[in-house]
Each structure stands twice: as C-alpha cells, then as structure tokens.
Structure 1
Amino acid sequence: MTTRYHQLDSLRGIAALTVVFNHYSQIAPMEWMRHAPWRLFTEGHSAVILFFTLSGFALTLQITGESKPGFAEFVVKRVCRIYIPYLIAVLAAYAAYGALYRSGLSWTGPWVNQAWHADIDRHDLLSHIYFLLPFDNSTLDPVLWSLIYEMRISLIFPIIVVAVFAMPLWLSVALSAALSLAVSGYYHHASRTLMDASLQGEWIPTIHYISMFVLGTLIARYRDAISSKLGTYSSRSLFGALMICIAVYGLVGAVNPHLVSNDVLRSFADDWVILPAVTCILVLAISLKPFAAVLAARPLVFLGKISFSLYLLHCIVLLGVLHYFGEAYQRMSLVVAAVLILPVSIAGYYAVEKPSIRLGRYLTRRKQRDRATLGVRSMASKYLFDKGK
C-alpha cells in the first residue's frame, strides 16, 4: 500500500490558499497585500512550484508502490483526475463570463480586465478545451496554465521516474539544472519571460517545469535517508531552517527585482531560488515531527483535500462576483466573493473531483484485477516450485 503523507496534503491546501490571496492582491483596493509581511501569504508563483514538486513526490510513491499501475492505467487515472475537473471549470468560467460580463471594471486594475475582456469568444473556449496545445490561457480562469504543464508532464512521468531511479543523484540534479539553464538561454535570446511563455502554453517551458517533478521524485526516492540524516540535528536547528526557507519561499518575488534587473533572467532566477526552499519545506514536513503534527490538524488536511477545487474555481467566483456587482458596492463584492469561494470549492470537490477519481478507478478496474490475478498466480507458481524442490 502506498504511504499517504497527510501533512503534504495540508501543504497543498495552504499553497492553494496563497494563490487565492495572490489574486486578491492583484485587485487595486487590495494591493497592500503585495507588501511585506503580507507578501508571505500571497506568493502564488511559489505555490505553483510547490504543487509541481508535491505532484512529483506523490506520483512517484504511486508508481513505485506495492500496487504499481501500468502505464495506460496511470495515464487514464491522471486524465480523469486533471482533465475532467479542468473541463468543468472551463465550461463554468465561460458560462459565468457569458452571463455576467458587460464591460471592463474601472476600479479593479489590469488583472481583472485582462482575465475577462470583451474579446473572449467561442474560439477561446475551444482552445481551452483542446487543452494540451499552445494557446492563450490567461483568460477565463487564469490559473489554468499550470494544469497544462501538469498534464503534459503526467503523460510521460512514469518514464521520468524510471530514468531518475536509474541515475545517481548527482546526475539527475545536474541534468535537470542543465535543461532548465538551456530553456532560460532560449528565452533570453527570444527576450520573453518564462511566465509570458507559460501563459501561452508553449512547449519549451515544459522542460523547465520537469525539473520540479524530478525534485519531487528525488525526495520520494531518498526520503528514508533524508529523514535519518535530519534526525541527527536538533529540532531547534531544523525549525530555524524551516523559518528561513518559508521566508525565502514567500518573499523571493519582492527581493529578486532589486537583485536581478533583467526580466527574463529574473523569471527563471525566482524559480531557481524557490526550489531549494521548497525542498527544505517538503523534507521537513516529512521529517520534523512538530511541523508534521501542525500540518496534520484536521482543518488543514481538509483544506488540502479540497485544494484542487479551491485552485480551479476561486477565480471564477471572484471574477463572477466582481462583474455581478459591477462599479457599485466595490468592497462588498470582495467580501461576498471571499465568503463564497470556500463553499463553492467544497461543492466542486464532492460534485466533480470525487466522481472524476471514481471514474478513473472504474475505467482501470479490469487492469487492476488482471494484475492482482497475475500476482496470485505468480505466488502460487513460486510456492509449487519451492515445494517441488
């Protein structure tokens, strides 16, 4: 049976909540949230890197666990897990846009008016439905760009796991770093930032984001050795390291603009600085018992359970409510959206996520039975062979 680290679910939930706060901070009356110390709770891009790393960790445990899925089985489950909720979110966003959008909102600032604008049409809807092909995914539901890369990498992830497990640690790290550097060189030559390319769903950033999944795979592979090594340090030292990493994770976006002037280089440098911080946070969530105990609190675990729906749906709620109220009741609309986001996310989890997961299990049930039958036959053959010796 695959080990379940509930504290990592909590990390995912906290990260999803910071994405919500990040999008609130993009609205003109809430821009104060971008400044320290509040910035620590609104670093949405760091949260996406954490999502990718957590996915690498969790999927590696799934692939290498006792009930190892076949390649086709793994892909079917990932398509059901990611694409079906994604598709429902796209359709919901388009329906909300069609029903509520009238014109731009003068008081909200550029982010809201870039996400929902007058030129969104059926072509944009079809582009979103095609999903994996490059398209402008900064509209309708602006968080969807990360799911494109999540799905692309998921389709080849078993191959990545096999490759990482076949390599020594240093080679996996060196190869991932080299590929990320190559991508940064390409976009430096093209004078385009990583986020600009990602919001267009371009293929090349996939290579860069693979490094985050590889990091998760490495943590999963060496988790016992890491925990054993960290056990030789005092809790006070580990807690200090955790605080430093959380500060780096949350404040890098505020500090790096003062250190790196080139926008393209900074878009990659942010990720290169965040990745070690994410590594530290992840391994300490596994190894530092007081930290794991805090994360195991039931409200945080539940937040982790609904984190995917929270991530997928909060922009639709926020943008829909803002356009419903329009130019009137500006601050009230922000409060109403905040009140609705959590119930809508809970409803999305039970109405869409769980059925999608069950569908994935149903579609692969025959393969699971065949694999279980083959396992029983192998055990029986081994028993008869040993008995006949």
Structure 2
Amino acid sequence: MSNRIQSLDSLRGIAAFVVIIFHVLLSFSLFYKADKNFEYGNVIAKIFNETPLHMIWGGNEAVLLFFVLSGFVLAIPFQIGKQGSYKNFIIKRFVRIYIPYIAVMTLSVVLMVSLYEYKDATGLSEAYENRWNHDVTWRAILAYIFMINYDTANVNGVVWTLYHEMRVSLIFPLLMVPLLKLKPIKALMVLSAGVIFSLIITISPFLLLGRSDLTLIIRDFGFTAYYSVFFILGAFISTYRRVIVEWTSAQSEKFRLLMFVVSIFLINGKWVVNIIPIKSTLLLYSPLSGIGIGILFIVVLSSPLANRLLTVKPLLFLGKISYSLYLTHVLVIMLTTIAFEQIGHVMWAFILSPIASIPVAYLAFRAFELPSMQLASRYSRKVKERKNALEISKVL
C-alpha cells in the first residue's frame, strides 16, 4: 500500500473516532436536539452545529467518507486486472465484512440481554434511551444474521452502514464496467441512470402500498441504491486519480489549501444549507458532503504536507483498527455508562468511553478482524494456486 493510500486509511481512522464522539454527544439532549431538529439550548451548541467545528462530531458525514473510501479502494484491483472472478471477489468481501460483524453482534446481543435492565436513561437523550432498550426477538436475530435493517438501534445501531457496504459489494463489479469501458461523462450518465432506476423500483412499493415490514425492507434497498452514489464517487476518483493528482500537484500549496477549506465547508453541507432558508434534506446535503469528501481525497492524494501529517504512526494505527473501532464503540459506551451509573458518576463514562474504545477495538481487531483478513488471504492464495496448476496442466 502506497503512502498516499495509507493517508486515506488514516482518514478512515479519524472518521471512525468522529463517529464515537458523535454517539457520545448524541446521548445528551442538547446535542441530540441540535442534530435532529436544529434546536439549540445554548450558543455553544449552535456554534458546534452551524460552523465547520461540526466536523468534530459529524457522524453522518464520517459514514459518507467510509462509503467514498470503500469505492476508492475496491476499484483499485479492477484497474490493474487483479480483481479475480466475481465469485472470488464476493467471497473475500463477505469474509472481510461479515465475520467481524457477526462476531461483534453476537457479543453485543449477549451483553445487551444480560445487562440492559441495569441501564438508567434518566436525563439522557432519546438516542441513548433507544440503545439496549428492550429484549431481542428471534425476528431481530434473523434480521441480524441476514443483514436486514430491522431493530438494529436496540443492540448496535451503527451496523446499518455495513448492510449497505455488503449490498453494494454484490454489484460493485458491475459498477466498474462503465468506468473502465466508457469515457468519464458517458460512464457517469450510465451509472446515474442505473441508480435512478433502482431508486424508482425500490421506493415505489413504499409510496404506493404504504408502510409495512416488507415495503420498509424494500425501501432500505432503495437507500442502498442512493448510497451507492458515494461508492461510485470513490471509484471514479480512484479510476482517474493519476490525471487528477497530476493536475492538482502542479498547483500551488495555497491553491490546495483553498481546496481543503472548500472541502470542509462542503462536507458540512447539512449545516451550511441550514443557514440558507432552504429545508435541509438527505437528498440535498449528502451530495454536498460527498463532493467535499471527494475534494478532500484529492487534496490528500496530491499534497505532500497532508501525506506527512496523515502518515504518523498514531493515525496509521487508528486507520488499521478503524473497522473494529466502528463496530465496538457503542458496546463500549453502553458498558461504561452502565458501570458508572451504579456508582453515580455517569458523566465519567462519556468522558472515558472514547479512550476505552481504542484498546477494545484493538482486541477486537486481533480476535475477529485479523483472522478474517488472514482467511481471505488464504482463500486468494488457494484460488491463485489452482489457477496456476490448471494453466500448467493445459501446457503439459
């Protein structure tokens, strides 16, 4: 992995930590109301919401960064002809995502069922109250196994993003065909048409038939189609990164600094849009954030200064454990708050949980994530060995 790609991985680690801060602050009504309804209990909440300081706890924007980065990284093997067969691609992707996911979800369910009655949400927000809120049904367990977005907030609400990751992975080789075969504009037109068509098919049942478990599940696949746009953005930047980086690198450091500033404002699109008298919606602000993330990637890939800052060892470590950090931090928040509630000092739990999340994530990385990566690597080697043996047998 080149230093420039490592620097993007550090961004993933930073984004994962931002999600932790987001879920810690969202546990308080002051920040929950600010995030959901733009209701501010004081001027500090307003400043932390309607300025670029929002990036400190911009959990939704951090998730979009995950999607863009996934698209960027997944596209690389296709560009050099090392993606392998569709079957091999999906198996490796499944092993990489699903094994750590199901391991952490199993642990979360066991601990939640054992401890949720000890939770006291007095004085905390609706977001905190909805975590570890009620017993887990068999219906929910089946949904977790098959990665269906049903009652996830009760156990570990962050996993909804992994469902979209897994679904987009199933169609990702298809998304790469236009990018590799067509000119940039035509490729984007074809992919845009595909996304719009998918949205119509998946959202229509909910609009026509009303709310039901089935239409909600189908609608969730519509959200997958929507979020696939961010994977496509990452894949597009990855495919044309040499041309993009060559042009950006030729510009002055001041110009790249300007690009960075613009990216920060666009990433905070939801809050920037709210300053303007326009109703903020997902369809409006998320594309702004996506464009900002794309510009940020370009700056990181083309700026020696950004590369040096992002390849320091602590950030590289954070990037390495970012998936486990993302998967386990809600579990850490809940365990620490329940523990400190028993001694009447719950505020300490929210202060300590971001720090405690790092060693827990490292343990999860060693226990679940690293073995899944090794399993995927062994599978790749065996596939390559079988392919080489077959080619030799043909020659003989």
TM-score by length of 2: 0.84
Question: Which has the higher mean CA deviation after the structures are superposed, 20-29 or 305-314?
Answer: 20-29
Q: Report Cα offsets for 1:217-258 as digits up to 9, x if no partner.
A: 111111111112113311111112112212321x32323234
Residue 270 of structure 1 corresponds to which residue in structure 2?
A: 285
Residue 330 of structure 1 corresponds to which residue in structure 2?
A: 346
Question: Which has the higher mean CA deviation after the structures are superposed, 28-37 or 105-114?
Answer: 28-37
Q: 8 Å contact 2:4–2:300 — kept in the other structure?
A: no
Q: Distance in 1 between matches of 2:87 and 2:3?
A: 22
Q: 8 Å contact 2:68–2:232 — kept in the other structure?
A: yes
Of 378, 382, 388, the residue aligned with 1:366 is: 382
Q: 1:368 to 1:354 in 2, by over 3 A?
A: same
In the TM superposition, what are the counterparts of 1:53-92 in structure 2 within 5 Å? Answer: 53-65=68-80, 67-92=82-107
Q: 1:230 to 1:209 in 2, by over 3 A?
A: same
Question: Aligned letter for 1:243?
Answer: V
Q: 1:199 to 1:285 in 2, by over 3 A?
A: farther
Of 115, 118, 124, the residue aligned with 2:134 is: 118
Shift of 1:307: 0.4
Residue 39 of structure 2 corresponds to which residue in structure 1?
A: none
Residue 339 of structure 1 corresponds to which residue in structure 2?
A: 355
Q: 8 Å contact 1:198–1:205 — kept in the other structure?
A: no
Residue 20 of structure 1 corresponds to which residue in structure 2?
A: 20
Residue 386 of structure 1 corresponds to which residue in structure 2?
A: none
List gaps (5 residues or longer) in structure 1: 382-389
Q: Distance in 1 between matches of 2:393 and 2:266?
A: 53
Residue 217 of structure 1 corresponds to which residue in structure 2?
A: 235
Matched, 1:235 2:253: yes
Q: 1:3 to 1:255 in 2, by over 3 A?
A: closer
Residue 58 of structure 2 corresponds to which residue in structure 1?
A: 43
Residue 5 of structure 1 corresponds to which residue in structure 2?
A: 5
Question: Aligned letter for 2:179?
Answer: V
Q: Distance in 2 between matches of 1:326 and 1:342?
A: 22
Q: 1:292 to 1:210 in 2, by over 3 A?
A: same
Q: Distance in 1 between matches of 2:381 and 2:311?
A: 31
Q: Distance in 1 between matches of 2:241 and 2:277?
A: 34
Q: Distance in 2 between matches of 1:332 and 1:88?
A: 28
Shift of 1:306: 0.5
What is the DSSP-based 3-state SS (H/G/I as helix, E as strand, rest coil) of the residue aligned with 2:158? Answer: coil
Q: 8 Å contact 1:145–1:201 — kept in the other structure?
A: no
Question: Aligned letter for 1:366?
Answer: K
Question: Aligned letter for 1:17?
Answer: F
Q: 1:377 to 1:168 in 2, by over 3 A?
A: farther
Q: 8 Å contact 1:136–1:199 — kept in the other structure?
A: no
Residue 204 of structure 1 corresponds to which residue in structure 2?
A: 222
Shift of 1:301: 1.0
Shift of 1:349: 0.9
Q: 1:162 to 1:66 in 2, by over 3 A?
A: closer
Q: Distance in 1 between matches of 2:180 and 2:27?
A: 45
Q: Report Cα offsets for 1:133-192 as digits up to 9, x if no partner.
A: 452333211110000000011122112112321222112333444555664998699499
Q: How many residues align?
A: 372
Of 103, 121, 130, the residue aligned with 1:105 is: 121
Q: 8 Å contact 1:127–1:135 — kept in the other structure?
A: yes
Q: Distance in 2 between matches of 1:291 and 1:76?
A: 35
Residue 248 of structure 1 corresponds to which residue in structure 2?
A: 266
Question: Which has the higher mean CA deviation after the structures are superposed, 285-294 or 122-131?
Answer: 122-131
Residue 149 of structure 1 corresponds to which residue in structure 2?
A: 164
Shift of 1:68: 3.5
Of 358, 363, 367, the residue aligned with 1:351 is: 367
Question: Aligned letter for 2:25?
Answer: S
TM-score by length of 1: 0.86
Residue 34 of structure 2 corresponds to which residue in structure 1?
A: none
Shift of 1:376: 7.3
Shift of 1:329: 1.0
Identity %: 25
Q: Distance in 2 between matches of 1:50 and 1:184?
A: 25
Matched, 1:137 2:137: no
Residue 162 of structure 1 corresponds to which residue in structure 2?
A: 177
Task: Provide the alpha-carbon RMSD of the alignment.
Answer: 3.0
Q: Distance in 1 between matches of 2:251 and 2:158?
A: 39
Q: 8 Å contact 2:269–2:289 — kept in the other structure?
A: yes
Q: Report Cα offsets for 1:99-124 as digits up to 9, x if no partner.
A: 22115511221101112212433332
Residue 244 of structure 2 corresponds to which residue in structure 1?
A: 226
Question: Aligned letter for 1:123?
Answer: R
Shift of 1:51: 0.8
Residue 387 of structure 1 corresponds to which residue in structure 2?
A: none
Residue 384 of structure 1 corresponds to which residue in structure 2?
A: none
